[in-house]
Structure 1
């Protein structure tokens, strides 16, 4: 899914105050991490994921791989934090970071 520059700017503004929900260590993207990111995206639609990986290229590859697996769009990447977006099938106004 491709986002317009206006959407990306709006999501970056909303994501500024968010804390990382999932933390990925250097041992890779386990099935549990994938399931947790998938659940978090379904609940919140816009989430931050922290990557604790030493190598920059490995981190970028892991972010691309995670986005492909959970079918999310990378909104922004700053340092070790990635801001991911995926529209929920049935958004919950109490949980969604876009509706609060």
Structure 2
């Protein structure tokens, strides 16, 4: 669990990030979760765009992905969501 100060810091880092995944009509499948898991291990902080045809709101998608992968939902605004998980091999982001 991250504190509100840490969450604010992560939101500031994610502000300049581009979305690297799109959640579309196929929904949250095992292959999508595997790709997100690998990206979280490599980058620690990622942004995902939720498309209108996915059947998910951004908050619902964030909660579902976090439950499966054990990550933290940093932010869910509009059709974007930001996820964070500390890397087990090479941590890059130092939380305050």
Fold shared per TM-score above 0.5 = yes
The structure-2 alpha-carbon separation of the partners of 1:89 and 1:55, relative to structure 1 and needing over 3 Å to count, comes to closer
Equivalent residue for 1:13? Answer: 12
Please tell me whether the aligned partners of residues 62 and 76 of structure 2 are also in contact (alpha carbons under 8 angstroms). Answer: no
Please tell me whether the aligned partners of residues 24 and 53 of structure 2 are also in contact (alpha carbons under 8 angstroms). Answer: no
Q: Give the TM-score of the pair, scaled to structure 1.
A: 0.82
Aligned pairs, number: 93
3-state SS of paired residue (1:17): coil
3-state SS of paired residue (1:20): coil
Gaps of 5+ in 1: none
The structure-2 alpha-carbon separation of the partners of 1:86 and 1:27, relative to structure 1 and needing over 3 Å to count, comes to same
Equivalent residue for 1:63? Answer: 62
Equivalent residue for 2:51? Answer: 52
Name segments (4+ residues, structure 1) moved above 6 Å: none
Q: CA RMSD in A?
A: 1.9
What are the within-5 Å matches in structure 2 for residues 14-93 of structure 1?
Answer: 14-54=13-53, 58-59=56-57, 60-91=59-90
**How far is the alpha carbon of 1:21 from its aligned partner?**
1.2
**Deviation per CA, 1:30-68, whole angstroms, max 9, x where unpaired?**
111100100000000011011113588x32322211111
